[in-house]
Amino acid sequence: MADKKVRTRYAPSPTGSMHVGNLRTALYEFLVAKSQGGDFVLRIEDTDRERYVEGAVDIIYKTLKEAGITHDEGPDIGGEHGPYVQSERKDMYLPYAQRLIDEGKAYRCFCSKERLEGLQQESVGGGYDRHCRDIPKEESDALAASGAPFVIRQKMPLDGSTTFEDAVYGSITVENSELQDQILIKTDGYPTYNFANVIDDHTMGITHVVRGSEYLSSTPKYNLLYEAFGWDIPTYIHLPLIMGKDEDGGVSKLSKRHGSTSFEDLSREGYLPEAIINYIALLGWCPKDNQEIFTMDELIKAFSIDGISKSPAIFDYDKLEWFNAEYIKAMTPEQFLETARPYLTQALGDSGLDLSKVAAILQQRVTVLTQIPDMVGFLAKQPEYDKELFVNKKSKTTLENAPQLLRMSYDALSALKSWDHDSIHDCLISLAAENGLKNGTVMWPARIAVSGKAVTPGGAIEILEILGKEESLGRMKKGLEKLS
């Protein structure tokens, strides 16, 4: 068999923001294709007009773009297999369903929703009873012609079993008796997801179907459809689910109640796209050499299907945060300044402070961008603080010695001609040396006075420098007053 070019597709429904589970599926589909020199296709599945959300398609484009997952074909860029929006393909599906009816592999079902609901209530897990499966052709045609609403169902085999191969889970067999006569075309004329999926995947030449393992049990239904049409069955790659921790300690498929689970949310909360992608790439897949940090190109090179695991993975915000911090630390100072700028501006406004200096003390300490305003707010406006802050055991400072120490620093700094990092540093360090004190003993009171916080990004020297001489001395003076 000649090697066909690998083609995968990401087929989201425009129903809102992009969940990390979907994002991860998109990523893997992209990686499956790209790691084998194939194409990655974007297809919008909007057959459910009731759940359609305005603007959701744009979110998909935006998310994919920010995540660095680029498609080769799609609604926005076209391609040879269009249209790429299911609603625009609507007319394609009915003929296929009709063909199955003509071949006796499908039939019209005229049952009302009420009847079907009744069936479900009668027996637990009991589904459709194939009531319309054997309506004679003439009768069916006449009913349809009379305008009676109907759906089209596929005739499932009554006995035997269906087996399929999954690239991750291996061989899976399901008894056909478990399968219902699935609906292909809904009353509104639209195809069901399952049906449209098969038709689209086939007509778009998709070779590898990558999706979450929640589809594992419905895969036989897909295969029966491929078989009914006599089409080649694609390679199935089912992905282990991403789970979230429930409040009661249990776990379940990751969803909104587990917190921020969409790319948008995470991004808004200060996680970098690269970090999100890197993290979810490793949720369910492991490289041969255990590398942790990956660029997208590296992922493409390292990715292989046999590294995909079978067991579900719990989404771990701690690890995501670690990745985020790694990416932040790896930025150039300029890059970090730019990504931090909105947050810095939010906290510091037009305080006139040198943002690049502020960014510099932040870069090694920030793990999530949204922490920034809280971390630097004290620079713009000193918070109220308790004089107890001047007490620090490790630095050997007490309420008794703090006034003198602070006074000492104040005088020395006042005399300083140039106000830059080195000058301040030398000034305070030599002050400590001359008085036989630990550096920390001198630095602690100064830092507290100037910041009003027990914990700050950067030490006394950095904060003094950023604040400038006038503001620094002003704050120190207030500190002295507070101590007296």
Partner RNA sequence: GGCCCGGUGGUCAAGAGGUUAAGACACUGCCCUUUCAAGGCGGUAACACGAGUUCAAUUCUCGUCCGGGUCACCA
Catalytic residue set: 256
Residue type, 90: K
- Of the two residues 4 and 161, which places its CB atom closer to RNA in the complex? 161
- Of the two residues 350 and 383, which places its CB atom closer to RNA in the complex? 383
Shortest reach from residue 324's CB to RNA, in Å: 10
- Of the two residues 202 and 350, which places its CB atom closer to RNA in the complex? 202
Cβ contacts of 277 within 8 Å, gap of 6 or more:
23, 27, 67, 68, 69, 296, 299
- Of the two residues 81 and 186, which places its CB atom closer to RNA in the complex? 186
Kindly state the tokens that stand for 224: 């029966």
Cβ contacts of 315 within 8 Å, gap of 6 or more:
20, 242, 243, 244, 254, 258, 261, 283
211: region left, alpha or beta (phi > 0 left; psi from -120 to 50 alpha)? beta
Shortest reach from residue 3's CB to RNA, in Å: 25
212: region left, alpha or beta (phi > 0 left; psi from -120 to 50 alpha)? beta
Shortest reach from residue 51's CB to RNA, in Å: 5
Cβ contacts of 374 within 8 Å, gap of 6 or more:
347
Contact 224, 155 (CB under 8 A): no
- Of the two residues 231 and 322, which places its CB atom closer to RNA in the complex? 322
- Of the two residues 380 and 429, which places its CB atom closer to RNA in the complex? 429
Residue closest to 53 by CA, chosen among 93, 88, 16? 16
Q: What stretch of H or E contains 237? A: strand 235-239
Distance CA 248, CA 239 (A): 26
State the CB neighbour count (10 A cutoff) for residue 175: 12
Contact 39, 6 (CB under 8 A): yes
Output Rg (C-alpha) for the chain, integer angstroms: 32
Compute the residue count for the chain.
484
Provide the pairing of β-strand 39-42 with 106-109: unpaired
